Amino acid sequence: MLSFAALASAQLPSSIFSFIKPFLFGHGHLGPITLQILESLVEPITAQIERNSYIYQEGAQLMLNGKPWTASGANVYWLGLNENVIPPAGQPFYPPFNASYPTLGRITEVMNTLQTIGARTIRSQTLGVSVGNPLSVMPALGVYNEQAFNTIGWSVFQARQHGLRIIAPLVDNYDYYHGGKFNFLRFRGIKIPSSDSSKLDPLVQQFYTNGMIVQDFKNYIEHLLTHYPLVGSHVDGSRSFIKHLAPQKLVIDGTYGINKTHLDIPTIDIFSDHYYPPDNSKLQTAIALVASVNKTYLVGEYDWTANNPQASSLQSFYNIIESRQSNPEPVVVGDLLWSLFIHDVPNCNIYVNHTDGFTLQYGNPANSAQNNTQISLIRQHFFKMKEQTVDSYLPAMPCPGPTAEYTYM
């Protein structure tokens, strides 16, 4: 039978200790508690406490309930709105953008997969950027489509049930199917023919400087965050507004690369950049720059494939990130591969593909040996970022897997 001393040495939260105290010594029909019973009680309670606690920045690291926390995982950009699958006849579909809502089973399967590969974090553009087409959260200025929240809500629910955290950018710098700053410009009659950054019309700056457009964007943010308080921003003037709406959420500076003039902005918690291909020198320079202001850094996207001969090896790239975790102020807090796809659920015989050359399909029998080697390396890295060790084996995944309504892994 467990003693009070044993429980104290386990450093249980007082709320959990109070819950189990009546069971320590037999009462009536209740027998004494055993270690196995205690573990079965404590594990789900501890998981629920963690899920209901905020991640916060403390200097150059992220924290959860007083302990360092890391944010490695994957980009799963299609959770709110899909562009890679044509749905059955009669389902919502917008042919000009090939846009449709992903099935709930497809969302559930990718959450199970993320858990299997050791991820803690999802970055999903379409959970926060959804404007300008009939299936969007905001199809037209000031017009909101509540149906669009079905997939967003299921994604948020399933992420929580699987113990995953969400990063949701709130606007896109490009003109993709899910929308972005060009839609807000078009809403106000400013039409820019190309989103190519090398030849952009100077009028694109109206998104940042035109008071009416800035307010339009803030109204959209408010509508979105009052449904689901997510995290992420790409716009200078909106950071304080986000902190006002959701003061305990972290804000990531979405600039492509680190803008040195942003380093001292107090409402930025995390800086980030993209790596196509992985570049060790660029990574170390970024870490040093963010360390100079005692904040945190996240690798927001990177090419995982090892197909580019100019790339630093993925292992050496990971070594830099992992070695920093023994530092009391690691600065770099994780990395998010681009990008994860699984089956076309409910059809578990077809894997969904995205044609950019960076699609990671876990468990696909058609994967090359190189792909599976890289995926195994990714999985080992993600677990190592959680201070756990796994071998090179890639566990099989059921399709779509459990809905995780009651899991606490």
Alpha-carbon span 306 to 312, nearest angstrom: 9
Q: How far apart are the first and last CA of the chain?
A: 26
Closest CA to 220 of 254, 268, 179: 179
What is the C-alpha separation between 386 and 321, in angstroms, rounded? 12
DSSP state string for 207-272: HHH-HHHHHHHHHHHHHHHHH-----B--GGGHHHHHHH-TTS--BB--SS--GGGTT-TT--EEE
Residue pLDDT tens, the chain, 409 long: 444 444 444 455 555 555 555 555 445 455 566 777 666 666 777 788 888 899 999 999 999 999 999 999 999 999 999 999 999 999 999 999 999 999 999 999 999 999 999 999 999 999 999 999 999 999 999 999 999 999 999 999 999 989 999 999 999 999 999 999 999 999 999 999 876 665 778 999 999 999 999 999 999 999 998 886 554 444 444 667 877 777 888 999 988 899 999 999 999 999 999 999 999 999 999 999 999 999 999 999 999 999 999 999 999 999 999 999 999 999 999 999 999 999 999 999 999 999 999 999 999 999 999 999 999 999 999 999 999 999 999 999 999 988 755 444 4
The reply to whether the predicted model has a pTM over 0.85 is yes
